[in-house]
A and B are shown apart, each in its own frame.
Chain A
Amino acid sequence: GQQLNQSPQSMFIQEGEDVSMNCTSSSIFNTWLWYKQDPGEGPVLLIALYKAGELTSNGRLTAQFGTTRKDSFLNISASIPSDVGIYFCAGENTGTASKLTFGTGTRLQVML
């Protein structure tokens, strides 16, 4: 099946730092999504990308749909303690009957 690998697996950063993470796939996706999971909760959608090369922002978060359609990137600027959690990418293709595939996750921890 399709595999979505995220890196880094985990990261510790200082409050105020910028964060970058990425997601790569063994095959092409038509839609890329980024979700965040807070401890003890289910994931919540942050950003959706629908077109190769697309760059979309949501507050301090910016995500990009890679031009090869096999990767996507998420940046968080000026991190704050509530950014702690696990960030998941997810990919989807038309014609796969509504199947939504998630990545391995990046765990973010912010030091004060």
Chain B
Amino acid sequence: NAGVTQTPKFQVLKTGQSMTLQCAQDMNHNSMYWYRQDPGMGLRLIYYSASEGTTDKGEVPNGYNVSRLNKREFSLRLESAAPSQTSVYFCASRTAMNTEAFFGQGTRLTVV
């Protein structure tokens, strides 16, 4: 029972480097989300995809792009990483509104 799988689990980047965080779910969920978690700030929504083929900005989208590649996969790209993007990133998915969201185990990203 894989659920929501995120890769990589850990990553260190230099300022200005780019990378893509991968997320895949095997529960046939329609909606997928990317959050970042910082101390004292809780979970802040970066981008979400209500259904395959759509993406929308959350609270903190600047510096990020997303791709809903298919129903299973939702990737998050940092084009030019900055130290302010040091955080733990969580992907989540769910069937629809008012249903339980399932989270991956997170990607711990450090930008130096």
Task: Please give the residue numbers on chain A whose beta carbons come within 8 Å of chain B beta carbons, in ascending order.
Answer: 1, 4, 6, 9, 31, 40-45, 48, 50, 88, 90, 92, 94, 97-105
Using C-beta atoms within 8 Å of the partner chain, give the interface range for chain B. 20 to 34
Beta-carbon contact of A1 and B59 below 8 Å = yes
Residues of B within 8 A of A45 (CB): 100-101
- State the 10 A-B residue pairs at the shortest beta-carbon distance, nearest first: A42-B103, A102-B43, A104-B42, A98-B50, A98-B31, A45-B100, A105-B42, A1-B59, A97-B50, A98-B97
In the complex, chain B residues 12-68 whose Cβ is within 8 Å of any chain A Cβ: 30-31, 33, 35, 40-45, 48, 50-51, 56, 58-59
| Distance in angstroms between the alpha carbons of A44 and B48 in the assembled complex | 19
| Distance in angstroms between the alpha carbons of A98 and B106 in the assembled complex | 21
Beta-carbon contact of B100 and A6 below 8 Å = no
CB closest residue in chain B, given A42: B103
Task: Please give the residue numbers on chain B whose beta carbons come within 8 Å of chain A beta carbons, in ascending order.
Answer: 4, 30-31, 33, 35, 40-45, 48, 50-51, 56, 58-59, 90, 92, 94, 96-98, 100-106
Residues of A within 8 A of B98 (CB): 31, 48, 50, 92
| Distance in angstroms between the alpha carbons of A6 and B41 in the assembled complex | 10
Question: Could you list some 11 contacts between A and B, CB below 8 A?
Answer: A41-B103, A41-B106, A42-B102, A42-B103, A42-B105, A42-B106, A92-B97, A100-B33, A102-B44, A102-B45, A103-B42
Residues of A within 8 A of B105 (CB): 40-42
Residues of B within 8 A of A1 (CB): 59
Residues of B within 8 A of A41 (CB): 103, 105-106
| Distance in angstroms between the alpha carbons of A105 and B97 in the assembled complex | 22
Of B45, B51, B104, which one neighbours A100 at CB under 8 angstroms?
A: B45
